[in-house]
Amino acid sequence: MIKRVKGFKDILHEEAKLREKLLIKAKNFFELNGFKELITPILEKTELFLRSIGEVTDIVQKEMFTFQDKNGESLTLRPEGTASIVRAYIENNLYAYGNIHKFYYYGPMFRRERPQKGRLRQFYQIGIECFGSESPLLDAHVIFILYHLLNELKVKDISIEINSVGCEKCRPCYEENLINYLKKYSKELCSDCNVRIEKNPLRVLDCKNVKCKEIVKQSPNIINFLCNECKEHFDMVKNFLAMFEIPFIENRFMVRGLDYYTRTVFEAISYSLGGQNAIGAGGRYDSLVYNIGGKNVPGIGFAVGLERILLVTEEAIKLDFPEVYLIIIGESTYKKGLEIYKKLVNKNIKVEFDYEMKGLKNQLKKADKINARYAIIIGEEELKEEKLILRDLKLSTQEKISEKELLKKLRG
Ligand code: HAM
């Protein structure tokens, strides 16, 4: 038996239905808010992720599915959507259409993480990315959309956490202060954090190690190091969030695991999730378009993880049983039976029938097994009388009626 790859999963029909339902809701919600769909390939040049997510991040260093193509080129299954959307935005010269561009996307992402509840190696993100405005009103609006999307998808107990990671002007000074502080505790910090001090000090702030968490509590606060522009921007984001009536918590330790962020970062936390409690996350990336080779255009967006939503959504699916099971008995009735089948399908009635046609009892059992609401029975006698038997499988009653009456009964 060849089994599926670790951390990858098959999506069975009930879950597939629920996913489809959530996705349609999300798409409608985005379209309502003026977003347009953008579909990008799942395979990109590795370089794209090195330049966007950052070389010294867990994603790039440990988690990418990267391979060498036959022509020697290094390719990677996308670990997230933002980098690809930015590439597509630049490559298709989408700047040309107006000033502000708002896209949404959906699809599988791949990260070679240790699988656990809510953490897969192939998972699906639904996200948005907006280009062309630095306004703090856009930040607040994007967070508003995240909050309302989760409401729309019936995800309860959501808390929005926000922070500012400053810009290229003010962050270096903060990093210097943070490094000086952390270096005093290098013996007590975990080995990963000791590497981070040198290569990506901000990441020490969200280390999950208990000892590191304790040390970081007294570390310098990034908010005190923001330049005037970043400080004002962050204050305005908070003001607008209040106007949108979005409850939020400031969390100065939230720095996110991707290097492209500037200024506002945020996460939507679901308390019902347990360990992997970030259901969605995002932030502003004002230098990313430029760094990937485009014009100097600011951007901001978020992505939610569909599998994590499935763990907590209150959206139940109504089981979708067939309305009719068509029972055809005797060779002479095949033609009439299939004619009825086509009429039912044309009326959008969900109908199934048996390919073996093995006798009434056998077929009734099958109708029962798949929870059909009605059975329609056509035998030689009914054919002669130009009638059909409509059996209500729930009420265990039946009647002999004409074809016309049948269609009227089922579809009024
Ligand atoms: P991220 O925080 O890496 O951000 O991922 C966003 C969401 O994807 C997470 O909150 C989580 O729900 C889901 N997710 C991530 N990894 C896994 C996994 N291994 N298994 C299941 N679900 C997972 C980003 O990817 C950014 N691109 C978000 C963004 C968009 N920032 C700006 N625009």
Q: Answer whether 373 contacts ligand 1 (Cβ < 6 A).
A: no
The torsion angles phi and psi of 162, rounded to 5 degrees, stand at -130, 160
Q: Answer whether 281 contacts ligand 1 (Cβ < 6 A).
A: yes
Q: Which residues pair with 44 in a beta bridge?
A: 76
Rounded Cα distance between 128 and 181, Å, is 37
Count of beta carbons in the 10 Å neighbourhood of residue 132: 18
pLDDT of residue 316: 77
Amino acid of residue 116? Q
pLDDT of residue 243: 97
Give 327 Cα–ligand 1 centroid separation in angstroms: 49
Q: pTM value?
A: 0.90
Which of 121, 123, 155, when mutated, tests ligand 1's pocket best, judged by the most ligand atoms within 8 Å of its CB? 123
Q: Answer whether 119 contacts ligand 1 (Cβ < 6 A).
A: yes
Q: Answer whether 280 contacts ligand 1 (Cβ < 6 A).
A: yes
pLDDT of residue 19: 96
Which of 308, 310, 312, 313, when mutated, tests ligand 1's pocket best, judged by the most ligand atoms within 8 Å of its CB? 308
Ligand 1 atom 17: residue of nearest CA: 119
* Length of the chain (residues): 412
pLDDT of residue 150: 96
Q: Answer whether 84 contacts ligand 1 (Cβ < 6 A).
A: no
Give 149 Cα–ligand 1 centroid separation in angstroms: 15
Residues in the chain predicted with pLDDT less than 70, given as ranges, are 97, 318-319, 412
pLDDT of residue 319: 66
Q: Answer whether 170 contacts ligand 1 (Cβ < 6 A).
A: no
Q: What is the DSSP string of 198-249?
A: HH-GGGGGG---HHHHHHHTTSPPGGGG--HHHHHHHHHHHHHHHHTT--EE
Give 144 Cα–ligand 1 centroid separation in angstroms: 18
Nearest atom, ligand 1, residue 267 CA: 10
**Given the structure tokens 């959206």, which residue do they identify?**
315
pLDDT of residue 25: 96
